[in-house]
Amino acid sequence: EVQLLESGGGLVQPGGSLRLSCAASGFPFSAYAMTWVRQGPGKGLEWVSAIIDSGGATFYADSVKGRFTISRDNSKNTLYLQMNSLRDDDTAVYFCARGRNAMSSVTIDNWGQGTLVTVSS
């Protein structure tokens, strides 16, 4: 069974940093692209970032480009999202999700339960 367990969320002040982690199990992690999607309070889903199986290519939404960094450690079956220069509108539940194949997470076939990030002074 595919399991994706996010951690690292919490309360942070504007301008601060936070690193999210996603522990994957139940599938060959190194064979799949991975992605982060978020949902702000009362809002819809928003794609944030994606990374291919090897980590050799990464992709970002314009809203986070230059502030967030996605990475992965295939030896630890873990996906990360380093979030810097956080703003109020980054407040959201962040979902870790698996793409359907190695090179693309355009289609997401498994999702975690999410971790809440609150940016507030």
Q: Which residues in this chain contact another protein in the complex, by CB under 8 A?
A: 35, 37, 44-47, 50, 59-62, 95, 100, 105-114
Considering the complex, what minimum distance in angstroms separates the CB of residue 91 from another protein? 17
d(CA 87, CA 106) in angstroms, rounded, equals: 26
Considering the complex, what minimum distance in angstroms separates the CB of residue 42 from another protein? 11
Q: Which two tokens stand for residue 85?
A: 């220069």
Nearest residue (CB) to another protein, 8 versus 40 = 40
Query: How many angstroms separate the first and last alpha carbons of the chain?
Result: 40
Nearest residue (CB) to another protein, 12 versus 37 = 37
Considering the complex, what minimum distance in angstroms separates the CB of residue 108 from another protein? 6
Name the residue among 25, 29, 41, 46 with its Cα closest to residue 95.
46
Nearest residue (CB) to another protein, 79 versus 114 = 114
Nearest residue (CB) to another protein, 2 versus 11 = 2
User: Tokens 């309070």 sit at which residue?
Assistant: 41
Q: What angle do CA 4, 104, 116 make, to 5 degrees?
A: 35
d(CA 96, CA 90) in angstroms, rounded, equals: 16
Considering the complex, what minimum distance in angstroms separates the CB of residue 75 from another protein? 26
